[in-house]
Structure 1
């Protein structure tokens, strides 16, 4: 073959290979194993390491999971994954979409699913019972966007908080497929901001928080390419914030 013909073909092949590799970062499944909470009820746990509390047991209809490496020191809390088992006798092609709410490992597994989610990988209720009897199954998984229709990002003030001395909170309804990797707390009058600490899981804390209404800025980072975007919600945390209360931030982030 003449060199003049070979070069365009080689260039086309390399271009197509680059497209395939790029697609694989978001669309390809990773092979692994999954177990389930053996002592749980149908839903997840309300004492998960992410700090979601009872919300973490019922979010996404109870289709939740603990994870080991994907926990990433709490950065993975709130992320969504499509998980499907690979035994064609029992498993559906779609599997189940789960939200990460806890940290844990069981043997060589990446996921410890709620019983509801574990059975949700099956084609029917009989197959679900068979899966539960197996205990651990081969799976494949991929990161997908979280979707909470008609829900905005919401702050839940942790019960350990005490106005005005100490503020701790978690962020609910994290949409899209990006991680919240940093949070700033800002005074609304002069917009002086301070970077918050990740106490554990998805819990962000500030000692001696500013007085007055408080604004948040959140850094959303894409795991696959490192792209980062700061998001400033529409609504503020009110000056008289209270432990145990939730505050709608008035914004959705679907990227």
Structure 2
């Protein structure tokens, strides 16, 4: 029995397709030739774009590179730039379903960061620092050794905003106040003019002035069927990974959902009745209960200060 003749492949090589097209312009290019031409065009554009941005390296994150910053130990892999604003004024944007539009206040929702206790010493963090809002309020010590205006003395900053631009595994945008604070006296503006620089950083415990308590802000638009609460001034870990609420006449704790930034929310068909207690859980697993911190006659867009602190 004779073997059937081998069929020639319908796909021609890219080189042959390009040669045919060049020899006879009337011959339409094959799919392979189109793909290769498009790929060549893409590589050309990429090369040109890299040439135009030669002063900034683009970092592509991988699952193993998004590690949590170290506590206590200095990490030398961060880049900093003076672009995090002290008083963000970005217009409101619509968030995911169930949450209200975001008002001005940065990606954490914290306003008046130029006032105490932040005093403008704030920063925007990238993915492993901001952590989709669960890094809001965390504290870092940072310092720079070069260029010469750097003082090599550590300063403490608070994370109140985000910047997910892929520049480095760890990228921190500082406020002008914080960036200048890394300089030797009188060289603040000189250091800011460098734009970007390498720095060392490490996670530290947040410390506030004596008497500072955890504070809650009931957001605009809140009502008995929708409650959104911002948490700030959290000492120690600084950030919050879970919040729960309890009605005064119920023993059950109702888990809140992270809405965005440092704002946690609850929405349901059954209206809530105050006063409310709030349970705060920090990143290290510590819990605190602010008993009846939100009164029965609570109002939206109002600040309520607890009597607890980590």
| Both proteins in one fold, TM over 0.5 | yes
**In the alignment, is the contact (CA less than 8 A) between 1:95 and 1:122 conserved in 2?**
no
1:5 maps to none
1:205 maps to 265
2:42 maps to none
2:281 maps to 219
Listed one character per residue, the Cα deviations across residues 103-140 of structure 1 (whole Å, up to 9, x for unaligned) are 11453351000000000111112x21221110001101
- C-alpha distance in structure 2 between counterparts of 1:64 and 1:178, whole Å: 13
- Rate the CA distance shift 1:57–1:27 in 2: closer, same or farther, 3 A: same
- C-alpha distance in structure 1 between counterparts of 2:164 and 2:267, whole Å: 33
- Rate the CA distance shift 1:112–1:202 in 2: closer, same or farther, 3 A: same
Higher percent of residues as strand: 1
Q: TM-score, normalised on structure 2?
A: 0.66
- C-alpha distance in structure 2 between counterparts of 1:165 and 1:57, whole Å: 33
Listed one character per residue, the Cα deviations across residues 37-61 of structure 1 (whole Å, up to 9, x for unaligned) are 17x4xx3425311111x23443510
**In the alignment, is the contact (CA less than 8 A) between 1:64 and 1:100 conserved in 2?**
yes
Q: TM-score, normalised on structure 1?
A: 0.79
1:130-169 matches, within 5 Å, as 130-149=190-209, 150-161=211-222, 163-169=223-229
2:74 to 29, 40, 55: 29
- Rate the CA distance shift 1:156–1:29 in 2: closer, same or farther, 3 A: same
- SS of equivalent residue, structure 2 residue 295: coil
Kindly tell me the number of residue pairs found equivalent between the two proteins.
219
Indicate yes or no: 2:287 matched with 1:230. Answer: yes
- Rate the CA distance shift 1:83–1:179 in 2: closer, same or farther, 3 A: same
**In the alignment, is the contact (CA less than 8 A) between 1:44 and 1:63 conserved in 2?**
no
1:1-255 matches, within 5 Å, as 25-31=70-76, 32-37=78-83, 40=85, 43-45=86-88, 47-52=105-110, 54-58=111-115, 59-69=117-127, 70-87=129-146, 89-106=148-165, 107-108=167-168, 110-125=171-186, 127-149=187-209, 150-161=211-222, 163-177=223-237, 179-208=239-268, 210-222=272-284, 228-253=285-310
2:9 maps to none
Q: Could you list the runs of 4 or more consecutive aligned residues of structure 1 that deviate by over 4 angstroms after TM superposition? A: none
Higher percent of residues as helix: 1
Question: Which is higher, the Rg of structure 1 or of structure 2?
Answer: 2
**In the alignment, is the contact (CA less than 8 A) between 2:238 and 2:282 conserved in 1?**
yes
- C-alpha distance in structure 1 between counterparts of 2:288 and 2:189, whole Å: 44
Q: Larger RCO: Structure 1 or Structure 2 (Cα < 8 Å, ≥ 6 residues apart)?
A: 1
- SS of equivalent residue, structure 2 residue 199: strand
- SS of equivalent residue, structure 1 residue 110: strand
For the aligned residues, what is the CA RMSD? 2.0
2:56 maps to none
Gapped runs of 5+ residues in structure 2? 1-68, 89-103
- Rate the CA distance shift 1:73–1:105 in 2: closer, same or farther, 3 A: closer
**In the alignment, is the contact (CA less than 8 A) between 1:158 and 1:170 conserved in 2?**
yes
- C-alpha distance in structure 2 between counterparts of 1:30 and 1:93, whole Å: 14
Gapped runs of 5+ residues in structure 1? 1-23, 223-227
